[in-house]
A and B are shown apart, each in its own frame.
Chain A
Amino acid sequence: MQAHDGAPKIGVYICHCGLNIAGKIDVEQVVAFAATLPNVAVARDYRFMCSDPGQDLIRQDIDDGLVNRVVVASCSPLMHEATFRRATAAGGISPFFFQMASIREHVSWVTADQQDATEKAKALVAAAVRRVALHEPLERRQSPVLPDAMVVGAGIAGIHAALTMANAGKHVYLIERESTIGGHMARFDKTFPTLDCAACILTPKMSEVRANPNITLWTYADVVSVEGYTGNFTVRVRRRPRYVDEDLCTGCLACIDACINKKAKVPDEWNEGLSKRKPIYIPFPQATPPVVVVDPETCIWFKTGKCPRPCIDACERDAFDFEQQERIEEVKVGAIVLATGFKEFDATRIPAYGYGRYPNVYTSVEVERLVNATGPTQGEIVLRDGTRPQTVGIIHCVGSRDERYNAYCSRVCCMYSLKLAHLIRERSGAEVYDFYIDMRTAGKGYEEFYDKLMQEGTHFVRGRVAGVTDEATTPEEEGKLIVRAEDTLLGAARRIPVDMVVLAVGLEPQPDAQDVRRLFNIGCGAEGFFTERHPKLAPVSTFTDGIFLAGACQGPKDIPDSVAQAGAAAAEVLAMVDRGMVELEPSTAFIDPAACSGCRTCVGLCPFAAITFDHDRNVAEVNEVVCKGCGICVGACPTGAAQQHLFTDEEIFNEIEGVLAYV
């Protein structure tokens, strides 16, 4: 890179961006104006600056010695700053001899009057020109990327991401909060639209995870802290005690039979409370790892200290350890994939639908367990009293597409409602009524599935359900649940008596999503799902380099999309790890020891503890590697000793002057 080379010769390039800019801003006027600004050697315009010929303009001017500083007035720097820095570097000078003016997102797209837009564009160009004259030839530092990766959450997305990376030879820590991996998918019976058995396609992957030598699987574990930076994360994981040694337990389940509680009494979370378990349990037969869990809240030994503990005797492997403590493991990884999934909408929030009031109103999750052969009713669809329903009503959009709860569409509910409609009819012969607003069946094979359900004789009522009631107004309604809905296609209000109501509850972020995202220093959107870096072009990255997203934690989606996204996240991680290093942005803070008075104001302000105080020299010092470039210390420094590369006081003062002095 060339060092400071005398007076700045600024090249200003105004982009038309087709008509996006040129349609509102008088580009020629801006070019003419730019040419009058101090130190401007060249002022050009071009239709698409980000294209190859556009970038070549820059490169050529630098090559020809006409220009040694570059200003591009075009879209947002968040869009193409990297592109134009590369073009600048291609010309042979530091990529940081570059400044961008956003005259599209901030001007042409938001300003009504053409003259106003042109004037504003000129002001922003002037600001950039005045600023770039002071830029230093910064260089990006390289930092090594540690070779291991971590995946947090072992549902289908986490499993797929972990396997992809492990099979590429990387060592992966897979962390799962529940005692088994598999996530929501492990609880389904069949998946849409193919009606594949969920367990049949998932359990092989679960076994693979366990068998893969490159995966370290920690279940019943969660992340407690994340420190460090891209490529170099130090993560502390808490492994909660099961009171059973994972390495010794073979999952024979003899202990469960032997438990002093002869009858199961604890509501079984796996079956949504529809059945009971004992204090010692395994969530389901194919749980991975196949290790039992002792629940200290309900185990007599933990509650009273008085139990002969027949479980210990029943265990041939001597695997019990009632003294087991939680362990904190600390690992260092280069990149992390978050695949923490979703939670269902709580149907008690809509009292009008009767969930919790009428026993035969179920949520879709509960019905998933009913239809499952390993569920509380061995796959039979029955009411609470054990009889088969003759009519079933399925209510779509419970908690979704609703301003009072969640405005968004949860994407999968129409399809899973159709699936349940099919399975319910198949298992019980019941007539099924689907109450929907719109049918969202956009995926591959989805519309055909909908068609099949129509052929099968499912009744579809297009209309919002007002409520579910047991108030009967005719003899036919006695003893039934009546679904009151508007049938918009008939233009009438209808009362449809059914035996069972299924609420298609929507998808929401996990209840601790805010805590989790703060742990990893990423953002959440307004609905609470993790925010991707760019909705179209970077759907698996986040604003924190090295942290990636996969699956429903980023937004409601079905299994194919979750798997695809998990593969994408894995690819991003592999790219980082294989490259072996990341380039850190050079916009870090630094302290001029000559100007530092030793007041130590900055030291305590740094959120990342990047500033230390040298007691011998009585000056503060910034650790460049740890510094993340926020500038808090710079804003606080009373003498101006602390500055930030690329955001020095002088550069910003000049930018301010520039934005006001000419227009």
Chain B
Amino acid sequence: MTYAYFPGCSMRGTGRAYEESLLAVFEKVGASLEELEDWNCCGASAWTSVDRTQAVALSARNLAIAERGAAAGTPVDLMAPCAGCYRALLKTQHAFEERGAVAEKVDAALATVGLRYDRTVRVRHPIDVLIDDVGLERVAEAVTRPLEGVKVACYYGCLLVRPNAPFDDPHDPTSMDRLIEAVGAEPVDWPLKTRCCGASCYSSSPFGPVQEATLELSYEILRDAKRRGADAIATACPLCQFNLEGFQPRMARAFGERIDLTVGFITQFLGLAMGIDERRLGVRRMMRWHLPEPGSKPQPVAAGGGAHASA
């Protein structure tokens, strides 16, 4: 199994640990990833609301390049781990399937740089690949250190499965939960798994009512997970992970309650269960990493680097 791989900008930035763990896990299950040559921004930003055609053109360049690598006519699977990139590229794929005016203009734009897109690309997500292509059995087989007793709340956020996802239910998704189960951990059933985390609103400055509102959104998610006994939250989006992990000290000050919850990438949990060394999974990059020892009472796992939250 080979996949064209679209990292997107966050994989090289705040989401480094996601890429590291993703590559390690995929190697373990025997799927190879070939990074897309000269890939560009997927256009996940607000540009789609400003000029849809331009946004699609930007994104479509990646699809055209992906196609170039494959033999003519064979469908290409392009995998994008960041939920934002996934959604943006998927929307672009659909825009071409609509065959409307946008597709025509974008075809023309691509032609000016000598590219053409023959609509053979299927945009995929690692979770989708792990469940539908690799299969839960194979994932389970690769486990050497099942995460027994570790309760993980899977957070899907909004872009991954909404408004529609070919691989899961938009209202009640369970794909990540099944992966967590396959590696021996205990998925937590919680209602806020698709609730908005506030997205990029928090990061815009200066701090004001918008930031307050998004801080609260993320806080509610963390608090609910904690209430339901989660030891950690698994995410599939670098921004969700960032929002949920990064501002816990601030939340403690604003809302008077310490959360102190580990927030990691789904692939990190899978990798741990597969016995992959923590360093290869980017654990040291996390701001906090406390997981109960599988099968015994919860014990802090030493994490190097990043400062711990000070209340």
- Report the minimal beta-carbon distance from A403 to chain B, rounded to whole angstroms: 12
Our pick among B169, B172, B191, B220 for the contact of A473 (Cβ within 8 Å) is B220
- Report the minimal beta-carbon distance from B209 to chain A, rounded to whole angstroms: 15
Question: What 1/0 flags go to A463-481 for Cβ under 8 Å of B?
Answer: 0000001110100000000
Determine the chain B residues whose CB is within 8 A of the CB of A469 once the complex forms: 191-192
Our pick among B171, B190, B192 for the contact of A351 (Cβ within 8 Å) is B171
The answer to whether B191 and A470 touch across the interface, beta carbons within 8 angstroms, is yes
Verify if A352 is at the interface (C-beta below 8 Å from B): yes
Docked CA distance A547–B191 (Å) = 49
Docked CA distance A206–B192 (Å) = 50
Docked CA distance A352–B192 (Å) = 10
The answer to whether B220 and A471 touch across the interface, beta carbons within 8 angstroms, is yes
* Nearest-neighbor residue (CB-CB) of A348 within chain B: B172
Which residues 340-359 of A sit at the B interface, judged by CB distance below 8 A?
350-352, 354, 357
Question: What 1/0 flags go to A351-388 for Cβ under 8 Å of B?
Answer: 11010010000000000000000000000000000000
Verify if B224 is at the interface (C-beta below 8 Å from A): yes
- Report the minimal beta-carbon distance from B254 to chain A, rounded to whole angstroms: 14
Our pick among B169, B171, B172, B192 for the contact of A471 (Cβ within 8 Å) is B192
The answer to whether B220 and A351 touch across the interface, beta carbons within 8 angstroms, is no
Determine the chain A residues whose CB is within 8 A of the CB of B192 once the complex forms: 469, 471
Interface residues on B, range: under 10
The answer to whether B171 and A352 touch across the interface, beta carbons within 8 angstroms, is yes
Q: List 16 A-B contacts (CB under 8 A).
A: A350-B171, A351-B169, A351-B171, A351-B172, A352-B171, A354-B191, A357-B191, A469-B191, A469-B192, A470-B191, A471-B190, A471-B191, A471-B192, A471-B220, A471-B224, A473-B220
Determine the chain A residues whose CB is within 8 A of the CB of B169 once the complex forms: 351
Determine the chain B residues whose CB is within 8 A of the CB of A354 once the complex forms: 191
Docked CA distance A351–B168 (Å) = 14
- Report the minimal beta-carbon distance from A577 to chain B, rounded to whole angstroms: 52
Docked CA distance A350–B192 (Å) = 15
Taking A471-B191, A471-B220 as known contacts, 14 extra A-B pairs with beta carbons closer than 8 A to each other, sorted by chain A number, are: A350-B171, A351-B169, A351-B171, A351-B172, A352-B171, A354-B191, A357-B191, A469-B191, A469-B192, A470-B191, A471-B190, A471-B192, A471-B224, A473-B220
* Nearest-neighbor residue (CB-CB) of B191 within chain A: A469
Which residues 455-497 of A sit at the B interface, judged by CB distance below 8 A?
469-471, 473
Docked CA distance A354–B169 (Å) = 15
Which residues 211-253 of B sit at the A interface, judged by CB distance below 8 A?
220, 224
Determine the chain B residues whose CB is within 8 A of the CB of A352 once the complex forms: 171
Docked CA distance A351–B173 (Å) = 11
* Nearest-neighbor residue (CB-CB) of B219 within chain A: A473
Docked CA distance A354–B190 (Å) = 12
Docked CA distance A103–B220 (Å) = 65
* Nearest-neighbor residue (CB-CB) of B224 within chain A: A471
Which residues 173-191 of B sit at the A interface, judged by CB distance below 8 A?
190-191
- Report the minimal beta-carbon distance from A398 to chain B, rounded to whole angstroms: 14
Docked CA distance A470–B192 (Å) = 10
Docked CA distance A363–B55 (Å) = 45
* Nearest-neighbor residue (CB-CB) of A471 within chain B: B224
- Report the minimal beta-carbon distance from B205 to chain A, rounded to whole angstroms: 26
Determine the chain A residues whose CB is within 8 A of the CB of B191 once the complex forms: 354, 357, 469-471
- Report the minimal beta-carbon distance from A356 to chain B, rounded to whole angstroms: 10
Determine the chain A residues whose CB is within 8 A of the CB of B171 once the complex forms: 350-352
Which residues 310-361 of A sit at the B interface, judged by CB distance below 8 A?
350-352, 354, 357
- Report the minimal beta-carbon distance from A480 to chain B, rounded to whole angstroms: 13
Docked CA distance A515–B169 (Å) = 29
Determine the chain A residues whose CB is within 8 A of the CB of B172 once the complex forms: 351
Determine the chain B residues whose CB is within 8 A of the CB of A470 once the complex forms: 191
Docked CA distance A352–B169 (Å) = 12
- Report the minimal beta-carbon distance from A492 to chain B, rounded to whole angstroms: 14
Docked CA distance A357–B174 (Å) = 14
- List the 9 shortest-distance A-B pairs measured between CB atoms, nearest first: A351-B171, A351-B172, A471-B224, A469-B191, A471-B191, A471-B192, A352-B171, A473-B220, A470-B191
Determine the chain B residues whose CB is within 8 A of the CB of A357 once the complex forms: 191
* Nearest-neighbor residue (CB-CB) of A358 within chain B: B191
Determine the chain A residues whose CB is within 8 A of the CB of B220 once the complex forms: 471, 473
- Scoring A352, A357, A469, A471 by chain B CB atoms within 10 A of each residue's CB, the highest score goes to A471
Determine the chain B residues whose CB is within 8 A of the CB of A471 once the complex forms: 190-192, 220, 224
Docked CA distance A354–B191 (Å) = 9
Determine the chain B residues whose CB is within 8 A of the CB of A350 once the complex forms: 171
Docked CA distance A354–B192 (Å) = 12
Docked CA distance A473–B222 (Å) = 12
- Report the minimal beta-carbon distance from B168 to chain A, rounded to whole angstroms: 13
Docked CA distance A354–B172 (Å) = 11
Docked CA distance A158–B76 (Å) = 59
* Nearest-neighbor residue (CB-CB) of B170 within chain A: A351
Docked CA distance A376–B265 (Å) = 48
Determine the chain B residues whose CB is within 8 A of the CB of A473 once the complex forms: 220
Determine the chain A residues whose CB is within 8 A of the CB of B190 once the complex forms: 471
- Scoring B171, B191, B220, B224 by chain A CB atoms within 10 A of each residue's CB, the highest score goes to B191
* Nearest-neighbor residue (CB-CB) of A352 within chain B: B171
Docked CA distance A290–B224 (Å) = 53
Docked CA distance A350–B171 (Å) = 8
- Report the minimal beta-carbon distance from A575 to chain B, rounded to whole angstroms: 51
Docked CA distance A470–B189 (Å) = 12
- Report the minimal beta-carbon distance from B50 to chain A, rounded to whole angstroms: 27
Which residues 246-298 of B sit at the A interface, judged by CB distance below 8 A?
none
Which residues 184-211 of B sit at the A interface, judged by CB distance below 8 A?
190-192
- Report the minimal beta-carbon distance from B217 to chain A, rounded to whole angstroms: 11
- Report the minimal beta-carbon distance from A348 to chain B, rounded to whole angstroms: 10
* Nearest-neighbor residue (CB-CB) of A469 within chain B: B191
- Report the minimal beta-carbon distance from B139 to chain A, rounded to whole angstroms: 26
- Report the minimal beta-carbon distance from A16 to chain B, rounded to whole angstroms: 44
